[in-house]
Amino acid sequence: MPNIFNYTSYREFICDYYLESKKRDRQFSYQKFADIAGFRTKSFIYKVINGEKALANSSTLKLARAMGLKKKELHYFIAMVNFNNAESIEEKEFYFHSLQSFSKNHKSSVMRDDQFAYFNNWYTAVIRELVVALDWKDDYRQLAKACDPSITPSQAKKSVQLLLRLGLLKKLSKGKYIQVDKAITAGDQVLGLAVKKFQQQTIELAAQSLERHEKKNRDLSTLTVGISGKGFERIKKEMKAFREKLVDIVHYDELVDRVYHINLQCFPVSVLPKEKRTVENEDTN
């Protein structure tokens, strides 16, 4: 059976369990799987795997028993289902930490925790830029004060250690740091939660900037417009193209002496037409 503690998506785990069982027993089928679990229709498990159905409490226990999960695996599976099914950021974060507590002795769990921690606060990404821009000589007090708003030296040190563990920073023999281009991957569910938390914090920082920074040092603007669904898609494409241009500007920029968050925000402030909203949701899923 696949190692359940390597998963954060219960759909992927069930799918891999089914495929592995099929390899061992060529007669194993969705019908047989459903019969063992006590489901009336063979299509239910297939629809769960493909995201058409979500597991409720009763069906979660049935599937767990059918797969022969032991006590700790059962608790992990239940937490994984709750994590995947949770809607709010607070709920998802609660069940994510439950997953980590059940699988804390597994290497994959430790890596997921580090990857989540990268986005869990706004300042770790800032620290990654500051350590190569400043001549700070491992003075974490100086590094902490360089953040705006400032953080504690302990937070700055933990961020540097995290970036080194993730391979996003490398310390050279002379004490200098360099950035390493490396993607952060933690699975769609974990990464999705982490990014939402990160974006939530940066939006809050943008609001605070209205009071904390002079107008010459910030650029925040608001535009309220009436548009069609097609118009919104065109705006998204233009915003994507602009982001790519910004990345190009940053790539060739020299003598870096400050760190900025750049938030591009475009969101509805009216109820979307029901028919169009359904089509747009299908396009993004």
Report residue 202 as tokens.
């940066």
Q: Which value, in Å, is the radius of gyration of the alpha carbons in the chain?
A: 23
Counting residues of the chain whose pLDDT is more than 90, the rounded percentage is 42
167 contacts 182 by C-beta, under 8 angstroms = yes
Task: State the pLDDT confidence band at 139, using cuts at 50, 70 and 90.
Answer: very high
Entry field: residues in the chain: 285
Nearest-angstrom CA–CA distance, 128 and 151: 14
Task: State the pLDDT confidence band at 275, using cuts at 50, 70 and 90.
Answer: low
In this predicted structure, the answer to whether residue 274 has a pLDDT above a threshold of 90 is: no
Question: Model pTM?
Answer: 0.57
Helix (H) or strand (E) holding 91: helix 89-102
Q: What are the residues facing 179 on neighbouring strands? A: 169
Please provide the CATH number assigned to the domain covering 106-217.
1.10.10
The predicted-structure confidence for 174-231, as pLDDT tens digits, reads as follows 888 999 875 555 456 666 777 777 888 888 888 888 888 888 888 888 888 888 989 9
Complete DSSP assignment for 197-245:
HHHHHHHHHHHHHHHHS-GGG-----------HHHHHHHHHHHHHHHHH
In this predicted structure, the answer to whether residue 282 has a pLDDT above a threshold of 80 is: no
88 contacts 200 by C-beta, under 8 angstroms = no
Q: Any idea what DSSP says for residue 267?
A: -
**What is residue 70's predicted lDDT score, i.e. its pLDDT?**
94
Nearest-angstrom CA–CA distance, 151 and 141: 9
122 contacts 205 by C-beta, under 8 angstroms = yes
